[in-house]
Structure 1
Amino acid sequence: MGILEEEPARKARPHEIGQDLSLLSVAELEERIVLLRSEIARIETELGAKGSTKQAAEALFRRI
C-alpha cells in the first residue's frame, strides 16, 4: 500500500436496538438517526397498507 493510497472504507454496520452508542462519532450517530427515520417511514407505510387491506376485508364480510 503506497503512502497516497486511501484506507479502505469501513462498512457501515446496521443499527442494533440497545447497542452501546458511546463508541460512535457524532457523524455516525447522525447517520443512524437518518437511517432509523427512513425505516420508521417505511414501517408506517406498510402499516397503513395493511390497515387498508384489513378495512376492506372487514367491509366485505359485513355485507354478507
Structure 2
Amino acid sequence: MDEDINSKPRAHEVGMVIDTMSVEELTERIALLEAEILRLRAAIDARGQTLQAAKSIFKF
C-alpha cells in the first residue's frame, strides 16, 4: 500500500506520460490543474491591483 502512495507523482508535470493513468487519475489531474489555474489567476489579479495602487499614488 505504501508503494502505491510513493509511486504516484504528487504533482502533474507537463509532458508526463499519461497513457497508464486511469480515468479517475486523469480526472484528478484535471482538478489539480484547474485549481492551479485559479491560483495563478488570483496572483495575476493581486499583482494588477498592486500596480494600480502604485500608479494612483505616484500619479502627477
TM-score normalised to structure 1 length: 0.76
Larger RCO of the pair (alpha carbons < 8 Å, separation 6+): 2
Cα displacement (A) at 1:42? 0.8
Cα displacement (A) at 1:43? 0.9
Query: Which residue in the other structure is 2:21 paired with?
Result: 24
Structure 1 stretches (4+) deviating beyond 6 angstroms? Answer: none
Cα RMSD for the two superposed structures: 1.4
Which residue identity does 1:37 align to in structure 2? E
Cα displacement (A) at 1:58? 1.1
TM-score normalised to structure 2 length: 0.80
Q: Which runs of 5+ in 2 are unaligned?
A: none
Cα displacement (A) at 1:39? 0.7
Q: Distance in 2 between matches of 1:59 and 1:17?
A: 39
Question: 1:10-62 deviations in whole A, cap 9, x for unaligned?
Answer: 24411001112112111110000010111111111111111000011111111
1:41 and 2:29 aligned = no
Q: Which runs of 5+ in 1 are unaligned?
A: 1-6
